Each structure stands twice: as structure tokens, then as C-alpha cells.
Structure 1
């Protein structure tokens, strides 16, 4: 009886281990695909302010046509990343940081900025940052910073673009 059950136990053990390995690896694989797709049109550690989304110009699955997107794929191996942004008056806007595991490491919206410019530094544990800066520590060196600005109408994009384009990502040398 035990001889018949042994192969079943081994198969069940391999199936369970495979399941958990897939769960652990999937977020990293998905983010690598997203980073690679974004990096084709955007330099590392720099924002690219994209035109309004259309069906033929989608950089991610089902982006909202009511939002303007700016992307900054980042790599912290050369040093911390400074992120600056200015809220767009009268519009919902946000800055989000997603790490290599697809976790949302940071988000700040226009209400939280209260009309003031935002400056934060994204860094790995152990990286030196300028004194007195708001610092977000992440576990992984790569990921994506995403800015979103809500439009009431797509025709507003040209009016909003100069303000949202003030958002910047840059590597700091400390």
C-alpha cells in the first residue's frame, strides 16, 4: 500500500512546489515584460511624457483614454533616483512607484501635494541620500515610476502637457 502511495506523494509535492514557485516568480516576470516594453520608448531614469492613448498606441493592456501617462523606467544600481512633479491645477494627478515585483512602493496624488511641488528620492537600502529629503526605500533596483493626469476631454491634453511635463526623474550622485 505504501509503495503505491509514495509516487502520489511525490507528484503532489512537486505540484505544490511548482505552484508556489510560479506564484513567487510571476510578478517578477510580468514586471520584466512591462519594463522592457516601456524601456523601448523611454530612457532609463528619465520620464517620457506620452501622448493620449489610442487603441493602436497602447503600452499596457487597457490603459484609460481619459488619462495622460508619463513613464520612467528606473534602475537604482547607479544611485538613488530623484522624482519631482508639479500637480496639475484642477485635475486629478498622481505619481506611483512600482517595484520589480509589481508592488506599489509609493503613491502621491494632487490632493496630497496640496498644490505644492513634490520631491522624493527613491533608493535601495544602504544607498546614501541627501540629508533632509523624503526617501522611499525599495527592495529591488528596477521598476517603473508612473504619472497619471486625468482629462475631462482629450482636447485638453495640449493645455495640460506643459505642466505635467515638469515631472522629472534623474539619478542622484551623492
Structure 2
């Protein structure tokens, strides 16, 4: 039995190392792929107000067909980014910012703002923002800002678009 103890212990340690390595690497790999796909489709540092999702057209796995999405893939390598989410009356809506490893760096919804817009500045720790700006500090330069608006029915997308298209993300003006 003792001659199997060493190889068995080595196998268990290798399995644990593989399991932990997969858990540690998976968020970065997932976000890198999602970021690249989104950036190819909508660009970077600009807000894209995407059409409603269908089974044939979905960039991200399992998006909700009841939500209208506006997405901004960002790269803070050139400086901070201003993000504004415009309210959509009588609808649930939210702004969520994901960092490069899929962690939520910021989230607010219409329930938090009581009908007002959300205006934030995304920046890394070493980037200065104007005094009074609502700075959301990110651990590194890349991520995704996502606005979601819950539709009561798919037919109202035209009316909702008039509001959501006032939302934006853009490089912060010096």
C-alpha cells in the first residue's frame, strides 16, 4: 500500500492544481472572448444600442428576449471614459459595469435613481478625473458597460429606443 501513497498523493495534488487553475483562469478567458466579440461588432469606447435578440442573432450566451441591450466595450488605455444611462420612464432599467474578469464593478437601476439618469466616469487607479465626477475605479483597462431595459412587450421597442439612444459612453473630455 505504501508504494501507492506517493503516486496517489501526486495525482490528488495535480487534480487540485488543475481544478484551481481552471477556476482562476476561466473568468479572464470568458471575458476576453466576450470582449473581443463585442468589440468586433460594436467598436470600443462608444455605446451601441443593439436590436432585440433573436435565436439566430445573439452575441452572448442566453441573452433575454425581454430586454433591450445597449453595450459599451471599453478600453481605458487612452484615458477615462464617461458613461451616461438615460432613464426609460415606467420601465425597469439598469447600468452594470463588468471588469476584465467578469466581476461587477458598478450597478445601479431605476430603483436607485428614482427616475434620474446615471452619470459615471470609468477610470483606472492612476487616471485623474475632474473634481466632482463620480469615479468608478477599475483594476485594469478593459471591460463592458451594459444597459438593460425590461420591455413590457417586444412591440414597444421603438418608443423605448427614443430614450435608450440618449445613453452614451465616450472618452472623457479634458
Fold conserved between structures, TM > 0.5: yes
- Partners of 1:173 and 1:3 in 2: how far apart? 68
- Partners of 1:134 and 1:113 in 2: how far apart? 14
1:61-115 Cα distance to aligned partner (Å, 9 max, x none): 1211111001101111111111012110111111100111111111111121222
Give the match for residue 32 of structure 2. Answer: 32
- Partners of 1:91 and 1:173 in 2: how far apart? 31
- Greater displacement, 109-118 / 125-134: 109-118
Is the contact made by 1:79 and 1:173 (CA closer than 8 Å) also made in structure 2? Answer: no
Give the match for residue 76 of structure 1. Answer: 76
Give the match for residue 102 of structure 2. Answer: 102
Matched, 1:138 2:138: yes
- Partners of 1:109 and 1:62 in 2: how far apart? 21
How much does 1:171 deviate? 1.6
Give the match for residue 9 of structure 1. Answer: 9
How much does 1:3 deviate? 4.8
Give the match for residue 66 of structure 1. Answer: 66
- Partners of 1:7 and 1:79 in 2: how far apart? 52
Give the match for residue 151 of structure 2. Answer: 151
- Partners of 1:116 and 1:5 in 2: how far apart? 64
* TM-score normalised by length of structure 1: 0.94
- Partners of 2:50 and 2:160 in 1: how far apart? 12
Which structure 1 segments of 5+ residues have no match?
A: none
Give the match for residue 91 of structure 1. Answer: 91
Which structure 2 segments of 5+ residues have no match?
A: none
How many pairs align?
174
- Partners of 2:39 and 2:126 in 1: how far apart? 26
- Partners of 1:9 and 1:111 in 2: how far apart? 53
